[in-house]
Structure 1
Amino acid sequence: MKVEDYLVERFGLLMSISDLADLLGRSPDGIRVSLYSDTEVSRKLKPTMVKVGRRVYFRTLQVKDALCLESSEYGA
């Protein structure tokens, strides 16, 4: 299974802030704080943001690219 397939299967095409926090091992509040400060991570993740009404989501496949997760196959 590829990383893209795993992430889409686990989170869907859009990730919430809590999903992103889960993936990165941080709290949702920590993600919010880091997104609204000017850091390398926030500059990579901001282009992946999508607002749906008042909610903020992140495009899962773009998050994978922004975090430079390898797309090679893994597993046994």
Structure 2
Amino acid sequence: MTTEEILIQRYGVLLSLRDCAELFCRSAEGLRVTLAGNNEFANRIRPAKVKIGRRVLFKASVISQILDDAQGQ
């Protein structure tokens, strides 16, 4: 089973800010602050960001690529 399949099975196609923060061992507020900055992590995770109304969600496919890249390093 791939990382993407595991994420989709557990969270669905789109992850909430809280779910995404949990995956990266951060608080939801900490992830929000990180995304507001200009750093390597924020630049890697921004393509996964999707806004639906006021909600900020993250694509499971992009998050899985980030996690897989981190494991390979």
Higher Cα Rg, which structure: 1
Percentage of pairs with the same residue? 36
Give the count of matched residue pairs.
69
Greater helix percent: which structure? Answer: 2
RMSD of Structure 2 on Structure 1 (CA): 1.2
In the superposition, the TM-score normalised over structure 1's length comes to 0.84
4+ runs of 1 displaced by more than 2 Å? none
Matches of 1:63 and 1:38, distance apart in 2: 18
Unaligned residue ranges in structure 2 (runs of 5+): none
Partner of residue 48, structure 1 = 48
**Deviation at residue 8 of structure 1 after TM alignment:** 0.6
If asked which structure has higher relative contact order (CA below 8 Å, sep 6+), I would say: 1
In 1: Cα distance, 2:12 partner to 2:53 partner: 18
TM-score normalised to structure 2 length: 0.87
Amino acid at match of 2:51: K
Q: Residue 2 of structure 1: CA displacement?
A: 1.7
Q: 1:53 and 1:14 mapped to 2: Cα distance? A: 14
Structure 1: which 5+ runs fail to align?
Answer: 71-76
